Structure 1
Amino acid sequence: MKYTIIVVLTILLFCNGSCENKGTDVSSAPVDEVQNGGLTSKETILEALQEEHPDLEENDVCIVEVEEFDNLFIMGYFAYDLGCTVNRMFFNGVELPGDHTEANQIMAANNFKDNSEKLVENYHIYVINSFKTVIWETNEDFGNKFSKPQTRIENDKVISELWIQRPSGMIKERSYYLSKLTFDADGNFVSLEKSNQFSVAY
């Protein structure tokens, strides 16, 4: 009888210990947390750049908040003869590749499925060509070459085309090219092409 009681108590103690261990395992299991980075303002981006380049001054860079997209900043290094060009992008506090290969994150966060044409057009104008001049109306330089900015869906692709004027720099001429941006139907960057480049001296 005593032996039976001892066995039963041993089993109960073992079971209780096992249950406690299982509870501990569950409560201590790692929880994935998605945390935004800290690059969420012009000031924090400039500070991060100055950590990389201690001699960098505020007027050496152009940092723009792209208001057409939530939490998106672009930056470029300033050159006196060319102005700024887009070098780096920061979205939701973290840096994205400057080659636009992760632009689908921006598109998805802005409801690409319902606004694909407008989003691609805005990305073309305010991100890729933020520091350049978009030509909205023809002028005497174009002759019959000009076409107004347009965005369309073609063969399951979203395509934006617009004429761009390059910064003049130190050369006395006006330079233009036709810029073509393409995304696929899921909001992934496909290509950025330049064509029909020409210059006019003045």
Structure 2
Amino acid sequence: MKTSLLLLFSLGFAQVQLRAQAVAAPTTAVPAVTVRTLDPLAAQRQLLITPKSVPLPASAVPPVTAPPQPVVKTTKTTTTVETPGLPPRVYQSERSVVVVGDQNQTRELPYVTLPVLFVQGTADLLDAESRSALEQIANVIKTVIAAEPTAMFDIEGHTSTDGLPDFNTALSVARAQRVYDELTLRYGVPATVLSAHGYGSSYAMFPNGTEPQLQLDRRVLVVRTR
């Protein structure tokens, strides 16, 4: 009799556990949400750094017989890009500086990568986060020029190597111009302290890379040039 009661109790308890597990088990996985934000204080610290002349690393000096396509040398935090006809550029992502060399001088320029997204194939801003980032960087630039009135900045548009070169160049120009227009016309940054250039895929850090790497190449930078 006791054995039968114990057996019934155990079966009932097991059924309760199974029902509880069935209720508690999620039916679908909830994907993680990636939040894109600009840290205004970090951006301000970076753009308060004054550009300076530095020795160009030997690895960034282009060979005498340069090949007709970009040559990219990449380590974990440094990417050297040599494009025939353009100055060699060394991107140091850990420090957010680009070393630009030409025949007259070599300069180290601090930059900030803007967390802005565009509608695919256009210069239209994709979302509210992108517009918020532009408002924040506008305030940063105005703070910097209040402290250092001679500071100058260049908006650089870049694309990945995915797509036709002419289209990529035109797209990067349009996106850099869109950011320039937003900063000056909407958010009050003086046009005299800004310029804008689009480089297409000329300075792609990951030519023919994986999709995550190509996404890193689709970027807009605010570079302090003076």
* TM-score of the superposed pair, with normalisation by structure 2: 0.30
Structure with greater proportional helix content: 2
* TM-score of the superposed pair, with normalisation by structure 1: 0.32
Between Structure 1 and Structure 2, whose CA radius of gyration is higher? 1
Q: Which has the higher contact order (CA 8 A, sep 6+)?
A: 2
